[in-house]
Chain A
Amino acid sequence: MGLLDRFRFSSLGRFLEKIFGRRHARIGIYGPPNVGKTTLANRIARDWSGEIIGSVSDIPHETRRARAKSNIRIENGNSSLTIDIVDTPGITTKVDFRDFLNYGMDEEEARRRAKEATEGVIEAIRWLDDVDGVLLVMDSTQDPFTQVNVTILGNLEARNLPVIIAANKIDLEEASPATLKTAFPQHPVVPISALTGHNMDMLYSKMIEHFGKKKRRRSK
């Protein structure tokens, strides 16, 4: 643990955080497979540090291990927040290696990918214990009432972790971010296109406001 991390978790650090609000937060990017989590992580990292976090693909479960990038400082006017981004594997309740055969993989490769995907789901859920806030990415062209979304939100609410819902893929004609806003009125929903960068300024502003808030009570 680095010196800054030691300070953050010290009594003095926690006391100052309560008084002045958070200035450094570890943010997990969560969601089901293929909603654009890594595209969003790359967009944030590239906008503020010039680098990317990981490769993207149309094949589900491209991200099978959590990947982090530290000390990304995002700014909006006079406000700023330094974040560590954790890009997590997509959470799902099922993984069938046969699905990957449709993408031209041989069976051995498909089985290996499926096994890694199951391990990635477990790792993603474990990371919930180590983040300060979550960007929950949803595909705004899809039905938002999925069990994965319900389970993730339920766990965030139980931990009292701040969450912003990124209603992604609004560059697509069939996108309906208003449906997500209606479905989850208790959480901030920001319509974005991580691919084109549309509305990212709005997301950064909301991140500074929401994740930089004074620390709230956490329970598990």
Chain B
Amino acid sequence: MKVKGVTVDLISRSKLEELTSSEKIDFIIGEVKKGKILILETGLTAAEQADLIKKTMSTIDHDTFIGIEMEGYPEEKVGFFHRLFGIRRSRITVIGPANLLKTIRKDDQVIETIIIPGKGV
């Protein structure tokens, strides 16, 4: 028997690091269009976020997919050598279908979201 509900996938850093930027974006869009909510351990770089928004806009069909809800934190510079060479590490990000996931509150410590009732698959 198939259990009804919303699938929330926690995607590990190692899984994300296996993917190129374009593979990562295709993966996210593909999963979100299936109605899944993804929590990315390492999030996306700023450039990847912009590419994800562009890809989302070109994927919207206005009947079954109206876009994404995405919330994360700015990339952070960690460690001496990271700071020296301007290397940043992206942080946790939650992404889901815009008709399913809604951000309630976000500050520099907490992202609070709700799953919109009745929209689960």
Chain A residues within 8 Å of B, Cβ to Cβ: 91-97, 111, 114-115, 118-119, 121-122, 125, 128, 143, 145-147, 150-151, 153-155, 157-158, 220
Q: How many chain-B residues does the 8 Å CB contact rule pick out?
A: 28
Instruction: List 29 contacting pairs A-B, 8 Å CB cutoff, sorted by A.
Output: A93-B68, A94-B60, A94-B66, A94-B67, A94-B68, A94-B98, A95-B57, A96-B66, A96-B67, A96-B98, A96-B99, A121-B57, A122-B54, A122-B57, A122-B58, A143-B106, A145-B107, A145-B108, A146-B106, A147-B49, A150-B49, A151-B50, A153-B46, A154-B45, A155-B49, A157-B46, A158-B45, A158-B47, A220-B47
Check if A145 sits within 8 Å of B106, measured CB to CB: yes
Q: Could you mark each residue 17-56 of chain B with 1 if its beta carbon is under 8 Å from any beta carbon of chain A, else 0? A: 0000000000000000000000000000111011001101
Check if A93 sits within 8 Å of B69, measured CB to CB: yes
Residue of A95, A97, A151, A153 most packed against chain B (CB within 10 A): A151
Contact of A111 among B62, B70, B98, B99 (CB under 8 A): B62
Check if B54 sits within 8 Å of A125, measured CB to CB: yes
* 6 nearest CB pairs, A to B: A154-B46, A94-B67, A94-B98, A118-B57, A96-B66, A151-B49
Residue of A115, A118, A146, A158 most packed against chain B (CB within 10 A): A118
Specify which chain B residues have a CB less than 8 angstroms from the CB of A158 in the assembled complex.
45-47
Q: A145 vs B106: C-alpha distance in the bound complex, in angstroms?
A: 7
Interface residues of B in 89-121 (CB under 8 A from A): 98-99, 103, 106-108
Residue of A95, A150, A153 most packed against chain B (CB within 10 A): A150
Check if B107 sits within 8 Å of A93, measured CB to CB: no
Contact of A147 among B66, B71, B108 (CB under 8 A): B71
A47 to nearest B CB, angstroms? 31
Q: A114 vs B62: C-alpha distance in the bound complex, in angstroms?
A: 8
Specify which chain B residues have a CB less than 8 angstroms from the CB of A119 in the assembled complex.
57
Q: A157 vs B76: C-alpha distance in the bound complex, in angstroms?
A: 12
Check if A93 sits within 8 Å of B54, measured CB to CB: no
Contact of B46 among A114, A115, A155 (CB under 8 A): A155
Specify which chain A residues have a CB less than 8 angstroms from the CB of B58 in the assembled complex.
118, 122
Specify which chain B residues have a CB less than 8 angstroms from the CB of A93 in the assembled complex.
53, 56, 67-70, 98
If A93-B98, A125-B50, A155-B50 touch, does A150 touch B56 (CB 8 Å cutoff)? no
